[in-house]
Amino acid sequence: MMYLELFGGLVYLLLAGDLLVRGAVALARRAGIPPMIVGLTIVAFGTSAPELCISLGAVFKGHGDLALGNVVGSNIANVLLVLGLPALIYPTLCNQDSLGRDATLMVVISLLFTALCFGGPLGRIQGILLVLLLVPILARQTRQANGSGLQEEAEAELQRVLGLPGSGRMIALFLVLGMLGLPLGANLMVEGAVAVAELAGVPNSVIGLSVVAIGTSLPELATTVVAALHRHADLALGNVLGSNLFNLLAIMGVAAVVSPAPIIVPPEFLRFDLLVMLAAAFTLGYFAWTKGSISRASGATLLAGYAAYIAVLF
């Protein structure tokens, strides 16, 4: 039963998240919002919606370590798994003009988040700080998008990859089903994850770092694999960077603000998991700063690193 809850909740989360993204993007297009802004905000936030619902459900049930594990594990998976697997299909170019700046920002935010964790429990003050930092980042990305000449290309890419609903009724249906399915799936997955952790005799955080993190990273993985199959894997880099920033600032920020009690950071996070997250962030930063490419050999190395990380967890 616990496995049914865990994986049934995951299915609900993925389907609902997909419907929500498609409906939100279609609605934004109808409202005349530029597609680059849609990609940087709605799509990035939509693919992080499963992590948000899982984290909120976890803190309200008193499992803050599960919420923290979900976010940290997702950021690790986004770099090592989500960028490693598509590179085996087609090398990922890292030569976009703004990629270096965006990667630097992700590394800085990762360092700040790690410092906050070393400083003690994550309470409302830390949560408010994280959420406030998101505001200028979104404003900066919006200015960049408005000044970009890639509007038509981005719109065509969104339409082709996502497959958007056309009529107003279908858009509304997608949005409603997405918003109803996300909390339902999150509740099932939290209950299942806690039960599996108890059965396996491991902390909730381990299940959050592994099973839950991989499950909630599947939207990003699907996006990058589809892009790689069309030889546009580089377009997925922005999604990964945006998702990692949303995870740390929006998801952990909101979770810390609304949590009935401060989120305690387990000692093992300070000794290992946060350091792995930083190493993954710096690895992506290296590719961006050198304007190189994630080759098939690099992709295999990233996947091997992720497999080793999961093995160490258990």
The confidence score (pLDDT) of residue 213 equals 85
156 — pLDDT class (breaks 50, 70, 90): low
The confidence score (pLDDT) of residue 149 equals 47
Segment 27-57, tens digit of pLDDT: 767 777 655 455 555 666 666 677 788 888 8
The confidence score (pLDDT) of residue 176 equals 81
Q: Would the pLDDT of 122 be above 60? A: yes
Q: Would the pLDDT of 106 be above 70? A: yes
pLDDT over 70, % of the chain = 78
144 — pLDDT class (breaks 50, 70, 90): low
Structure tokens at 3: 């496995």
135 or 269, which is more confident: 269
The confidence score (pLDDT) of residue 1 equals 58
What superfamily in CATH does domain 2-313 come from?
A: NCX, central ion-binding region (1.20.1420.30)
Q: Stretch 112-128: mean pLDDT, rounded?
A: 95
237 — pLDDT class (breaks 50, 70, 90): confident
Around Cβ 308, how many Cβ atoms within 10 Å?
12
The confidence score (pLDDT) of residue 53 equals 80
The confidence score (pLDDT) of residue 268 equals 92
Instruction: Identify the CA nearest to 19 among candidates 171, 150, 210, 196.
Output: 171
The confidence score (pLDDT) of residue 292 equals 80
Entry pTM: 0.81
Strand partners for 294:
92
Q: Rounded distance, CA 135 to CA 224, Å?
A: 26
Q: Rounded distance, CA 286 to CA 68, Å?
A: 26
Lowest mean pLDDT among 30-34, 134-138, 178-182, 310-314: 30-34
Q: Are 79 and 283 spatial neighbours (Cβ–Cβ below 8 Å)? A: yes
Q: Rounded distance, CA 243 to CA 183, Å?
A: 19
Segment 173-215, tens digit of pLDDT: 887 887 777 767 777 777 777 787 777 778 888 888 888 888 7
251 — pLDDT class (breaks 50, 70, 90): very high
- Mean pLDDT for all residues in the chain: 81
224 or 135, which is more confident: 135
Contacts of 202 (CB under 8 A, 6+ apart): 314
Structure tokens at 128: 């408010």
